Amino acid sequence: MNAHQTTPTGLPRARSIGIPFGGDPGPSNAITDVSGVQVGYVTLIEGDGPLRAGQGPVRTGVTAILARGRDGWGTGCAAGFHSFNGNGELTASHWLAETGILSSAVLLTNTYAVGTVHRGVVDWINQNRPGQLPWEFPVVGETYDGYLNDVSGAHVRTGDAVTAIDQAHGGPIEEGSVGGGTGMCGYGYKGGSGTASRLVALGTQTCTVGVFVQANFGRRRHLTIAGRPVGQHLLDDNPLEETNWFLPAGAGSIIAVVATDAPLLPGQASALARRATLGIGRTGTTGSHSSGDIFLAFSTANPGQLGSEEGPDSPQPGQLRRLEFLGWDDIDGLFEATVQAVEEAVLNALVANSEMTGRDGHRMPALPRDRVTALLG
């Protein structure tokens, strides 16, 4: 199978239905094309019928993104974040703003499972990195899956976060209704987890930018694909807007994680995170007030030079640190790659999906791929 066309289980990706994209994707067209980055999922689907808080139905999960894999846990990465619209949560953001260092994994889940997943990361550290606490700040992001899922029920457990970390791997990764994206919706269609990457020539070297999104945002009539306002022609079969759901149309959220192996300063990582705003804008969103649109970016370059971790490459206490980084005038290619990869990751989350029915019979249709192909033709 061509990893650019299908997911590991054979689900179609956006390129397979003729959606054109700019830029040069990496081998897997995924965030894992950045060397060392791993992604793991726990997907929880159980029950049908009326909502009974605490009992189901369940349509949720956990995603773990490891910047340097399990073996590189604790080695700091230059990092930054951007809140385009703040109706959401990203833990450790104050610490990221203070230091510009990401040293833990990034986990994504539903809105009311943030605390549980945060505790699960601590449990994993206690089991696998004894002595590394108390100076660990787990990063957990969320989007709201209450239209399909018993979001108030405690269905995500601490052990699910541990399992997602343990199952994280490189190479091609699954998309659609998996992990934290299991119960999410996007542009009035089934949304969820999506990823993409771009290769960027910088002088004599080639760097990689990889993106992962948990997409749960957007209003159907705004959906734009390859610059075409396709959503205006797909207004039928839109149960999210047709039902008397308590959230306004366009509500939801999106978390985007941007990884690169290009050497960056924390401020430059923040600049990369800001460009994710343009990437989601290409898909049509106008940034609903009820959508939490929060973006994190990190660089895997300069291992051992940022944090207080101990290792053979780490400076001794009091010793000067030395960072390699690109000049600000040299990173426009990374900005372009980020915008392109975020756009494609969102569309991959929509394309690699099927219809789902959740709590109270709430139904979320899948993007009609044949109709999209015809509209783009």
Domain ranges of the chain: 14-36+69-102+174-308+324-369
Distance separating alpha carbons of residues 255 and 288, to the nearest angstrom: 14
Count of CB atoms situated within 10 Å of the CB of 123: 15
Type of residue numbered 291? S
- What pLDDT is recorded for position 319? 81
Rounded mean pLDDT, 9-30? 98
98-114 residue pLDDT tens: 999 998 899 999 999 99
Vertex 290 angle, CA 286 and 291, to 5°: 60
The CATH class that applies to domain 14-36+69-102+174-308+324-369 reads: alpha beta
- What pLDDT is recorded for position 343? 98
- What pLDDT is recorded for position 110? 98
Using CA atoms, how far residue 367 sits from 8, 42, 131, 230, 354, in Å, is 20, 24, 47, 11, 8
Taking alpha carbons only, the member of 38, 104, 41, 33 closest to residue 69 is 38
- What pLDDT is recorded for position 311? 54
- The residues annotated with a catalytic role in the active site are 253, 291, 293
- What pLDDT is recorded for position 313? 59
CB 65 within 8 Å of CB 118: no
The helix (H) or strand (E) run that includes residue 106 is: strand 106-110
- What pLDDT is recorded for position 203? 86
Sign of the dihedral defined by the CA atoms of residues 108, 109, 114, 118, in that order? negative
Lowest mean pLDDT among 33-37, 52-56, 134-138, 238-242: 134-138
Taking alpha carbons only, the member of 89, 70, 63, 39 closest to residue 132 is 70
- What pLDDT is recorded for position 130? 81
Distance separating alpha carbons of residues 63 and 23, to the nearest angstrom: 27
Rounded mean pLDDT, 338-358? 98
Rounded mean pLDDT, 235-261? 89
pTM of the model as a whole: 0.96
SS3 192: strand
